[in-house]
Amino acid sequence: MDADGLMPPWRRRLHDGLAALPQQRRRRLRSFRSTEGVALLEEPGDAPAVPLLDLASNDYLGLSRHAAVVGAAAAELDASGLGAGGSRLVTGTRPVHLQLETALADWLGRERVLLFPSGFQANLAAVSALADRHALVCADRHVHHSLLAGVRASGARLVRFAHNDLADLELRLAQARARKPDQTRLVLSESLFSMEGTSPNVPALAALCRRHGALLLLDEAHALGVLGRGGRGLAHGLEGVHLISGTFGKAFGSGGAFLAGEALLGDWLLQASGAFRYTTALAPPLAAGALAALQQIEAQPQMATALLARAHRWRQELAAAGWRRPAGHGPILPLLVGEDGAALALQQRLEAAGLLAVAIRPPTVPAGTARLRLVLRQDLPPGSLPRLIEALGPAPSPFPL
C-alpha cells in the first residue's frame, strides 16, 4: 500500500491481471532431473521423485548426455571456467567461440555466423538488423514470440499471413509493393514450427520472397540436426534466405544460439546489434558442447534418418488408434485435444501411467486448440509407442477444429 493506504496503480494492474487469469491457464514451475531419457519429477515436500518417460523435451538426438558432448564441455570448463566473464567485444571471446562459428558457417554454407546466449536474443537481433520503423514485416501467424518481440523492438509495421499459406503471403507482399515500391519488406517464418509440427514449402517461400524483393528470415531452431540434407535445415543451399537463426538447445543438446548469413549482415550485426554487443558471451562449456554435437551430427546422419522414420511410424499408429494424424513429418507431434481442461486431464492421465507429455494451452496456441505436444528422441526405449497409445485411451470426439 502507498502512504494513503491505497494499492499503487502498477500493483493493482498486476493483481487484477492475475485474478482474471482462468485457473486452467495458470502456469507453475515443476522441477525435473533428467537421467537417460527419464524425467524425475520432484514435487515440493518429502515425496520421492516420480520417474516419467520423457516425451516432452527437445533433445531430439539424445546428445545432451552423449559422452563426447559432455566430455568436450567438461574439458572446456576445466580450461576456461564456467562463464565468459565479458561480452564478445571486451574479453568474452574464446577460441572455442571462433571455432564453433567457423564450423557452423562451413556446415551451413554461410559466410558468417555469430553466437548468442539464447535463441530469443538471436531473433531479437535478427529482426532489428533487417527491419526498422520504415519497414513492413510479414510474419506467419504461428511464428515464435521472440520474432514478434523483435518486430516490436524494431518499430516496423507488422502484418500476419495465414499459417504456411503462400498465396496469402503473396497477396500481402504484392499489395505492399504496389503501395510503397521502395519499402523494406521482411518475411518471418520457421522451418519447423514448435507447436504445430508443420513446415512451409521453403523453396517456394524463398522464390516468392525473391519475386517480390522481400528479405527472408527463417528460424531453423527445431529443424537443424534433424531436417534437410545431413540435418542442415530446410534453407540449406537455397537462394533468397537472407538470414537463419538456430539454437543449440534442441538437437545439439547444449545451450545458446546463432545467426548465419552473408558477410555484410554478419558485420552489421557485429557493429550495430545491441543484443550481440551488450551481453556476456555464450558460456565456453556450452560452445564446446555444441561444437562436439555438430561433429556427431556430421559423422552420424543416420541418427536423424532413423528419428524421422520413427516419427512417420508414430503418426501412422496414432492415426490408426483414432487420433487425428499429427501434422508435419519431424519429431514434434501435436495431439489436438481442444479445451484447456481436457488437455490438462490428459497430461495427468499420462503422468499416472509414467509418461511425461505437457499440455500446451493458450496464449501459446489459439483458444480451443489446446494440445499435448509429443516430442520424439532417437534414444527412446522400444515399446514407448504402445505404452503411450494404451495410456492415451480413446481420442476425443469430435476433434477440435
Residues tagged active-site: 58, 144, 190, 194, 219, 222, 250
Q: What is the DSSP letter of 45?
A: S
Instruction: Tell me if residue 160 falls in helix, strand or coil.
Output: strand
Spatial CB neighbours of 307, under 8 Å, sequence gap ≥ 6: 60, 61, 226, 331, 376, 377, 378
CB 253 within 8 A of CB 61: yes
Sign of the alpha-carbon torsion through 276, 279, 285, 290: negative
Instruction: Tell me if residue 35 falls in helix, strand or coil.
Output: strand
How big is the CA angle at 13 (ends 8 and 15), to the nearest 5 degrees? 90
Pairing of the two strands 215-219 and 243-247: parallel
Smallest CA-to-CA distance from 57 within 82, 91, 32 is with 32
CA distance linking residue 80 with residue 85, whole number of Å: 10
Cell numbers of 294, please?
Answer: 555438430
